[in-house]
């Protein structure tokens, strides 16, 4: 892997070389799910971009410390728990469990920390006390608000500056209009039906934005390297995180801010509120392999919108089949003596392309194109003079390197029983042909074709693949 990684930093609106504060160690905070329901695949687009980021960093030799929070107390979780008549914890636990199951199904490499907001309330209270001491807050009717006019850098991430005539206008809800900078709530006064914490600030519960500042600083330090989320997090959530954290500490919060564009359906952001969503489970129920979903969601570079369609899913399915077929062909074809038709230069060209693609702001589309190009070279070699032992080894290394970032290669022989039967039939066909029993040989070919298996007679024997 090349050592250079260029990332688009929303804060400075340009591509920058990534250099962590501590050489060799990348500290990353990724805003996690609100566990009030099953995440939809739009949420997973963002989480998979973060997975590609951490895997790329690791392949580049960085140690990674990643924090992904679970938002288990906010307006939405409280409302849903109340509707169900159970405690916040009872309500959110099953969705936390489902989230972790989905991550494993999608081959997301686990983060080092998954803090829950409810477990960091003392840390939130400490930050709010520091903000009070620095003169950034005011109280009203038992709630505490951040006065954004006291933080001149407000708007540096999103470009959304407070309007002068709106000074003092405040907002109590967690999420609000995308272009309306207002004083926002840090600590909410107790309310009928809401959980209450008794703290030095008085009774109440945290606002959503302070949660991420507290968990990030507790686990990564006051200043860390990368903060990620979807583009909808830029304002107000991340802008407010900066105001809270830097307002309290007086030093920079995150140095690189990375944001994934949305998964959209007919031009509109996939969202629970709109109803235009699929969960991972919905797609698995429709018969899609989770690997296909992973492939689709990483196939477009994270800073471009990705339009979700079933045609797109089917195209991803074909791409995964192409990988599986090539791997199977390789497994079923012994190496030839000598060099064969796959040269070290082919592997080197792939390595270089693949590295350059990921180093270029995680360009997964280019990385996948490099992989498909290599698959084409491999198939051409198998059609021609075959692949020698050295070529096979180099190829295995290249595939393993690619898959340590992409994680889309089918694992092992899940249908080993079926494969053994196919191999046996192919042997029987070879024997029939040897005996000039062409009727039997053709019958076997037809029988396999009916199962979607096509045969190819090459100079190195018969190979098969699933269509
Ligand atoms: P939430 O559970 O709503 O807090 O969202 C969790 C993460 O998913 C956040 O980083 C959002 O920015 C991201 N997200 C939400 N909707 C989409 C979407 N349609 N496409 C991509 N990311 C999304
Ligand atoms: Zn957050």
Q: What is the pLDDT of residues 104-124, one digit of tens each?
A: 999 999 999 999 999 999 999
Neighbours of 337 (CB within 10 A): 9
Phi-psi region of 349 (alpha: psi -120 to 50; beta: other; left: phi over 0): alpha
232 lines ligand 1 (CB under 6 A): yes
Peptide bond into 282 cis (omega under 30): no
Q: Quick one: which of 321, 384, 405 has its CA closest to 53?
A: 405
262 lines ligand 1 (CB under 6 A): yes
Ligand 2 centre from 258 Cα, in Å? 13
Ligand 2 centre from 77 Cα, in Å? 15
Structure confidence by residue, pLDDT tens digits, 370-392: 999 999 999 999 999 999 999 99
Tell me the pLDDT of the chain averaged across its residues: 94
Ligand 1 centre from 233 Cα, in Å? 8
* Closest residue CA from atom 5 of ligand 1: 33
CA distances from 396 to 288, 348, 399, 402, 404 (A): 27, 13, 5, 10, 12
Tell whether the model's pLDDT for residue 230 goes beyond 90: yes
Ligand 1 centre from 42 Cα, in Å? 6
Structure confidence by residue, pLDDT tens digits, 284-312: 999 999 999 999 999 999 999 999 999 99
Task: Indicate yes or no: pTM above 0.85.
Answer: yes
Residue 434: predicted pLDDT: 86
Locate 274 and state its tokens: 């709109």
Question: Which residue of 95, 231, 232 sits with most ligand 1 atoms within 8 Å of its CB, as the best mutation to test the pocket?
Answer: 232
Ligand 2 centre from 293 Cα, in Å? 25
Ligand 1 centre from 208 Cα, in Å? 15
Calculate helix-pair angle for 88-105, 75-84, nearest 10 degrees.
110
Residue 46 CA: nearest ligand 1 atom is 22
Residue 40: predicted pLDDT: 97
* Closest residue CA from atom 15 of ligand 1: 43
* Closest residue CA from atom 6 of ligand 1: 33
270 lines ligand 1 (CB under 6 A): yes
Phi, psi (degrees; rounded to nearest 5) at 116:
-100, 140
Neighbours of 161 (CB within 10 A): 12
Locate 326 and state its tokens: 């090539």
Q: Quick one: which of 358, 326, 366 has its CA closest to 342?
A: 326
47 lines ligand 1 (CB under 6 A): no
* Closest residue CA from atom 14 of ligand 1: 43
Residue 460: predicted pLDDT: 59
Of 163 and 93, the one with more pLDDT? 93
Ligand 1 centre from 272 Cα, in Å? 10
Ligand 1 centre from 269 Cα, in Å? 9
229 lines ligand 1 (CB under 6 A): yes
Residue 414: predicted pLDDT: 43
Provide the pLDDT confidence category of residue 456 given band limits of 50, 70 and 90: confident
Residue 149: predicted pLDDT: 94
Tell whether the model's pLDDT for residue 357 goes beyond 90: yes
- 407 contacts 107 by C-beta, under 8 angstroms: yes
* Closest residue CA from atom 23 of ligand 1: 43
The length of the chain, given as a count of residues: 467
Phi, psi (degrees; rounded to nearest 5) at 209:
-65, -40
- Ligand nearest, relative to CA of residue 306: 1
């Amino acid at each position: 892997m090349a050592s250079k990684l260029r990332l688009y930093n929303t804060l400075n609106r340009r591509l920058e070389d990534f250099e962590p504060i501590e050489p060799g160690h990348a500290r990353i905070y990724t805003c996690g799910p609100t566990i009030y329901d099953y995440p939809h695949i739009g949420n997973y687009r963002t989480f998979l971009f973060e997975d590609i980021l951490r895997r790329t960093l690791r392949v580049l030799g960085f140690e990674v410390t990643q924090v992904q929070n679970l938002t288990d107390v906010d307006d939405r979780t409280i409302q849903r728990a109340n509707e169900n008549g159970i405690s916040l914890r009872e309500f959110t636990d099953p969705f936390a469990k489902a989230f972790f199951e989905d991550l494993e199904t999608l081959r997301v490499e686990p983060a080092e920390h998954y803090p829950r907001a409810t477990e960091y309330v003392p840390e939130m209270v400490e930050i709010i006390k520091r903000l009070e001491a620095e003169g950034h807050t005011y109280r009203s009717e038992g709630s505490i608000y951040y006065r954004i006019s006291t933080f001149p850098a407000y708007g540096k991430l999103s470009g959304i500056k407070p309007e002068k005539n709106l000074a003092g206008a405040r907002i109590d809800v967690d999420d609000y209009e995308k272009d309306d900078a207002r004083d926002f709530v840090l600590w909410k006064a107790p309310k009928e039906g809401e959980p209450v914490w008794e703290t030095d600030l008085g009774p109440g519960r945290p606002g959503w934005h302070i949660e991420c500042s507290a968990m990030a600083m507790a686990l990564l330090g006051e200043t860390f390297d990368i903060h990620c989320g979807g583009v909808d997090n830029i304002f107000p959530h991340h802008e407010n995180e900066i105001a809270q954290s830097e307002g309290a500490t007086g030093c920079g919060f995150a140095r690189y801010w990375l944001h994934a564009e949305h998964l959209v359906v007919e031009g509109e952001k996939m969202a629970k509120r709109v109803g235009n969503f699929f969960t991972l489970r919905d797609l698995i129920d429709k018969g899609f392999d989770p690997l296909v979903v992973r492939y689709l969601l990483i196939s477009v570079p994270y800073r471009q919108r990705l339009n979700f369609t079933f045609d797109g899913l089917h195209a991803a399915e074909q791409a995964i089949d192409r990988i599986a077929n090539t791997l199977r062909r390789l497994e079923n074809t012994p190496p030839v003596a000598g060099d064969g038709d796959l040269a070290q230069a082919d592997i080197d060209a792939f390595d270089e392309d693949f590295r350059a693609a990921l180093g270029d702001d995680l360009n997964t589309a280019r990385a996948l194109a490099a992989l498909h190009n290599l698959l084409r070279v491999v198939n051409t070699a198998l059609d021609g003079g075959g692949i020698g032992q050295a070529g096979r080894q180099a190829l295995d290394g290249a595939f393993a390197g690619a898959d340590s970032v992409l994680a889309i290669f089918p694992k092992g022989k899940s249908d080993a029983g079926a494969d053994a039967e196919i191999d046996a039939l192919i042997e029987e066909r070879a024997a029939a042909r040897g005996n000039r029993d062409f009727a039997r040989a053709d019958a076997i070919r037809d029988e396999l074709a009916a199962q979607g298996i096509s045969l190819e007679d090459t100079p190195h024997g018969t190979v098969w693949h699933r269509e």
